[in-house]
Amino acid sequence: MYGTYLRLDVTVHDGWRAVVRAAARKLKPRARRDPALRGERHRFYRQMLAYHDQAQEMVRAWRL
């Protein structure tokens, strides 16, 4: 899943909305609107946000 985060083409300085929007663009249209996949979709978004938070924490720690 980390590879998917890297392919979102977001920078560490982008906000959470940019991450969610980029992640939504990676999903197929059917997966975005299927109510049965709502839980999996939310887990995917949360995972992408967790990777983004980790990247931001790394930048803060190293002051890049």
Predicted confidence (pLDDT) per residue in 5-51, tens digit: 999 999 999 999 999 999 999 999 999 999 999 999 999 999 999 99
Q: Count CB atoms within 10 A of the CB of residue 37.
A: 14
Q: For 32, what's the count of Cα atoms within 13 Å in the CB-facing half-sphere?
A: 10
| pTM of the predicted model as reported, rounded to 2 decimal places | 0.90
Rg for the chain, CA atoms, rounded: 13
Question: What is the pLDDT at residue 63?
Answer: 84
| C-alpha pair distances (Å), 7 with each of 4, 19, 27, 32, 53 | 5, 11, 12, 18, 16
